[in-house]
Amino acid sequence: MAMPFDKCYARHLGSCDGKSREHFISKAILETLAPFGVQGFPWLKPGKAGTASPSSLASAILCKHHNNFLSDFDAEAAKLFEHLRLIDSKQTPKELSSLPSITIDGVLFEKWLLKVLCGAMASGNFQVDGKFFGKLAPSEYMVDMLFRNNSWPKGAGLFIDFEQRQRMDAFRGLGYDPVFVKTTATNAMICGIDIRLWGFPFRGLFVTYEDGAIRPGYRPPKLEVVNGSIRKEIHFEWPHGTPQDTWSILTRDGTIPDSS
């Protein structure tokens, strides 16, 4: 019989076991980052960049059982992350041409975005308008999306946020901000997360619009990195039936300029 564990944010799913002190952004990813920057982390002022400090991101927000359940999502994000970092290290077209193309499982990557959001909420590690909100339990709706194998409603999932592209292009490393909608003058509902990985703006939205519309930028089939005559593609695989008509290809030219 599993022991109840009252600090696990997935406890309504049952089967909680012993305590886990985990990183909501996995240690493997944070270690990949060094010596590059992070933004949106709790020890940083809004809009400022700093360095990753893995131990300060560990908090007891899941039990071991539920934490282990999420490791595939971390692995897929780490794969993309490492590849973007590798691309960034190739200064010339010739160097870039030596890299293989990769394919990312889009659903695993979307679940990683949701995992980071749930972890940031449960551990109180996010800011809205420059203020920390304290610890918030992710909704059962979001936790179900993260842990259950049901396919998500169309319109929920990964977006590329073109509007923020320019701001993000200069940033090497990893940054995140919650996406929220104001419900009243004093209340806001958190509905997603913006994550910047190596200059690419990824947005996870975990709610759908009432009109059922799918906004532009949903579930990209690929990203492209261009340097001179060389183009390198990062493909995303999506479940059958994913709409493909809202997308134009996101391209990044050359390596990212140093922001310092």
Q: Can you tell me the distance from the alpha carbon of 177 to that of 179, in angstroms, rounded to the nearest whole number?
A: 7
Q: How far is the CB of 13 from Zn ion (least distance, A)?
A: 7
Q: Can you tell me the distance from the alpha carbon of 3 to that of 260, in angstroms, rounded to the nearest whole number?
A: 50
Q: How far is the CB of 117 from Zn ion (least distance, A)?
A: 17
Applying CB under 5 A, the site for Zn ion has a residue count of 5
Q: Can you tell me the distance from the alpha carbon of 115 to that of 152, in angstroms, rounded to the nearest whole number?
A: 15
Q: Can you tell me the distance from the alpha carbon of 124 to that of 56, in angstroms, rounded to the nearest whole number?
A: 12
Q: How far is the CB of 16 from Zn ion (least distance, A)?
A: 3
Q: Is the peptide bond before 4 cis (omega within 30 degrees of 0)?
A: no
Please provide residue 121's backbone torsions phi and psi, each rounded to the nearest 5 degrees: -70, -50
Q: How far is the CB of 140 from Zn ion (least distance, A)?
A: 13
Strand partners, 63: 19
Nearer to Zn ion, 73 or 202 (CB): 73
Nearer to Zn ion, 62 or 158 (CB): 62
Nearer to Zn ion, 61 or 193 (CB): 61
Token pair for 84 = 């973007």
- Helix, strand or coil, per DSSP, at residue 128: strand
Nearer to Zn ion, 147 or 176 (CB): 147
Q: How many residues does the chain have?
A: 260
Give the residue carrying structure tokens 């995992």: 115
Q: How far is the CB of 15 from Zn ion (least distance, A)?
A: 7
Q: Can you tell me the distance from the alpha carbon of 124 to that of 127, in angstroms, rounded to the nearest whole number?
A: 9
- Helix, strand or coil, per DSSP, at residue 160: strand
Nearer to Zn ion, 2 or 34 (CB): 2
Nearer to Zn ion, 70 or 80 (CB): 70
Rounding to the nearest 10 degrees, give the CA dihedral for residues 103, 107, 109, 112: -160
Comparing CA positions, the residue from 123, 151, 46, 32 lying closest to residue 80 is 32
Site track 54-93 with Zn ion (rule: CB under 5 A), x = hit:
---------x--x---------------------------
Site track 5-24 with Zn ion (rule: CB under 5 A), x = hit:
---x-x-----x--------
Nearer to Zn ion, 122 or 160 (CB): 122
Q: How far is the CB of 138 from Zn ion (least distance, A)?
A: 13
Q: How far is the CB of 21 from Zn ion (least distance, A)?
A: 13
With binding defined as CB under 5 A, does residue 143 bind Zn ion? no
Please provide residue 138's backbone torsions phi and psi, each rounded to the nearest 5 degrees: -60, 150
Query: Which residues would be at the binding site for Zn ion (CB under 5 A)?
Result: 8, 10, 16, 63, 66
